[in-house]
Amino acid sequence: MKQSTRQRKATKTPGLVLTTSNDGRPYAKINILTDWTIPGDVHLPFHDPVALGKCLSYPNSSTLDGGAGLFITGDLIDYYWLSSWPKDGKTVLSAGHKATRNALVDFVATVEDNYEYVVYGCGNHEERLTSMCRKFPGFDGEWYWLFQDVLPASWYKLPHAYRAELPQKTPNGLPIVIEHGDKALYGGVPSADKLATGYPGQCTIIGHNHRVEQVAKTKWKQGVATTSLAFTCGHLSDIVKNNYAANPNWQQGYTTVSVDGQVRNTILIGGKEI
């Protein structure tokens, strides 16, 4: 009898090895060869349910390791209540936590039904929670401690400032490296153009900057060409609720990587691909 997704999750082998890159940042080598869906920043509970649903409907069941993968680059949760620029000063931290938790419960249920593997990297919004928790005496952990009863133990969680390399390469042989983006070269909100310049010889994928962009660059030196690719995933927030319409350069979207290394950006308007 065919196993369910949840049964297979319980028996899967370790899917990544966490080391340190040459710049001192956490570096994950992922050994799960499968199709990956990479959402733009979701910002629960201020997400767009239609856009998020479209993104989470992508998985391909014909992947090599028996199921599709979801790679959350960070900022799955918003937690603006810890920000210096709150969107709603009337909402207290306890009410915000409850709203986030409720949205996360629904998100996890959908993901567990659709995806075999989940990698969840810490973004700058999750890091706000960790920073808050570090103020408590004796705290020794990460942000997800506050949601340990909601987040499945089978999800691979990566610390803030991580970089992660997928096992497949692009068709032209470039390694595919994912990070949130707030600690990438050129920091802040780096564009795809800057990422392609700063990380030569690889395909870089980030969230964080809320734009859907892709850039290819080729640099020649002594007759030898070095090609670089960069993709930014966009966001899946509610544009109206968050007043994101004020910035026309922010697009809803997500990125996918197939088992053979094909990388594709998708832009959404009104929950529909364009």
DSSP code string of 71-137:
EE-S-SB--GGGSSS-S-TT--HHHHHHHHHHHHHHHHHHHHHH-SEEEEE--HHHHHHHHHHTTST
Q: Which two tokens stand for residue 270?
A: 């009104």
In total, the chain counts a number of residues equal to 274
The dihedral through the CA atoms of 88, 90, 93, 94 has a sign that is negative
Q: Please tell me whether the peptide bond between 45 and the residue prior to it is cis, using omega within 30 degrees of 0.
A: yes
Q: In CATH, what class is 16-265?
A: alpha beta
* pTM score, whole prediction: 0.91
What are the domain boundaries of the chain?
A: 16-265
| 202-to-61, 103, 111, 172, 196 alpha-carbon distances in Å | 27, 35, 29, 10, 8
- Under a CB-based contact definition with an 8 Å cutoff, are residues 199 and 185 in contact? yes
Of 18, 8, 7, the residue nearest 156 (C-alpha): 18
* DSSP state letters, 195-222: HHHHSTTSEEEE-SS--EEEEEEEEEET
Q: Which two tokens stand for residue 89?
A: 């000063």
The dihedral through the CA atoms of 195, 196, 198, 204 has a sign that is positive
Q: How many CB atoms lie within 10 A of CB 5?
A: 15
Decide: helix, strand or coil at residue 242: coil
Spatial distance between the Cα atoms of 258 and 34, rounded to a whole number of angstroms: 7
Q: Please report, in tens digits, the pLDDT of each residue of the chain (274 residues total).
A: 334 454 445 445 568 999 999 889 999 999 999 999 999 999 999 999 999 999 998 776 555 556 899 999 999 999 887 776 556 656 677 888 899 999 999 999 999 999 999 999 999 999 988 888 888 777 778 888 889 999 999 999 999 999 999 999 999 999 999 999 999 987 678 999 999 999 999 999 999 999 999 999 999 888 898 999 999 999 999 987 776 666 667 899 999 999 999 999 999 998 888 8
Of 217, 197, 116, 205, the residue nearest 166 (C-alpha): 205
End-to-end CA distance of the chain: 40
Spatial distance between the Cα atoms of 131 and 154, rounded to a whole number of angstroms: 24
